[in-house]
Amino acid sequence: MYYNDNTLIYLDGEFVKANEASTDLYSQTLHYGYGVFEGIRAYATEDGTQVFKSHEHYERLKRSAELIQIPFDYDVQALVDATDELLRKNKLTDAYVRPLVFCDPNMTLARPNNVSIMICAWEWGAYLGDKQLRLTVSSYCRPHPRSIKIEAKVCGHYVNSILATNEAKDKGYDEALLLDSDGFLAEGPGANLFFEKDGVLFTPQLGNILPGITRATVLELAEELEMEVQQGLFKPNELFEADSAFYCGTAAEVIGIASVDETVFPKTWKDSLGRKLQDAYSKRVRETSNVLSKN
Ligand code: PMP
């Protein structure tokens, strides 16, 4: 359960009870998926709770809204502060935070005049678990970048993710791997892909994927650890010949991939570059650079 009788959410500038808040069933977002959202994690650190890369997530929320022309008149710092306050009020430490910008009632396909923002948070363990994943290449491809704004985190885009995840699970796999519409490796339904070959890391370039904030953090960490990374367009056979691979995302964090369809990666996870990055990531998110003020 995501909330109980005492849970508060942030809604348009106020903190209200989750079980008393409501929305209009005629919302354009509910009918057409025309809304934008974020997924953020907060971590308990030695000095208190820290929302990891809160500014970056709210900047991406703003950019997502702008890309699909949803009015966004919110101040990023105010949303960062509201998130800190929300966690304090709900006494949450390790938590997942979900902001959502949704539109007013509107049954037309015209752009809305008014939108609302809600932020909720709940305790959430590792999204894809902590075992290495068995993936299957999805029969669904990522939406073509000329069909939608692929860099935006838009509600409706997640139908593609849900279809791919369900298909993978129905076939007995843990998760899907999606290609882009030209057959290049793209990403998971909710995570970005990296793979390792002969000591070098490879990851699909931006353009046909969501520009993941965890992906950016992994690139920073790889640089600090002096690992070579190549970004580009890669075909599935390059992944099948890799030594190891991993997914990364806010909810999934860094998680090893054991196999893709029939291909089992030869390197054990503990010896992989992914494992080093996984350790570095879990340290980085708990570094106390940005701890919420205690009260
Ligand atoms: N790709 C997709 C399709 C996603 O939904 C996500 C999760 N937001 C990611 C990649 C990873 O992005 P981030 O690291 O910003 O969570």
Per-residue pLDDT of the chain (295 residues; tens, 9 = 90+): 899 999 999 999 999 999 999 999 999 999 999 999 999 999 999 888 999 999 999 999 999 999 999 999 999 999 999 999 999 999 999 999 999 999 999 999 999 889 999 999 999 887 777 799 999 999 999 999 999 999 999 999 999 999 999 999 999 999 999 999 999 999 999 999 999 999 999 999 999 999 999 999 999 999 999 999 999 999 999 999 999 999 999 999 999 999 999 999 999 999 999 999 999 999 999 987 655 544 3
Q: What is the pLDDT of residue 291?
A: 58
Domain range summary for the chain, segments of one domain joined by +: 8-122, 133-284
- By alpha-carbon position, which residue is closest to atom 3 of ligand 1? 190
**Which CATH fold would you assign to the domain 8-122?**
D-amino Acid Aminotransferase; Chain A, domain 1 (3.30.470)
Phi first, then psi, for residue 201 (nearest 5°) are -95, 145
Q: Which of 250, 281, 284, 285 for mutating ligand 1's site (highest number of atoms within 8 Å of CB)?
A: 250
Specify the DSSP class assigned to residue 123: -
Instruction: For residue 270, report the distance from its CA to the centre of ligand 1, in Å.
Output: 24
- What's the CA dihedral at 278, 283, 285, 291 to 10 degrees? 170
For residue 60, give the ligand 1 atom closest to its CA: 15
Specify the DSSP class assigned to residue 157: G
- 133-284 shares the fold of 8-122: no
Q: What is the pLDDT of residue 287?
A: 87
**Which CATH fold would you assign to the domain 133-284?**
D-amino Acid Aminotransferase; Chain A, domain 2 (3.20.10)
99 Cβ closer than 6 Å to some ligand 1 atom: no
For residue 217, give the ligand 1 atom closest to its CA: 14
191 Cβ closer than 6 Å to some ligand 1 atom: yes
- By alpha-carbon position, which residue is closest to atom 7 of ligand 1? 190
Q: What is the pLDDT of residue 181?
A: 96
208 Cβ closer than 6 Å to some ligand 1 atom: no
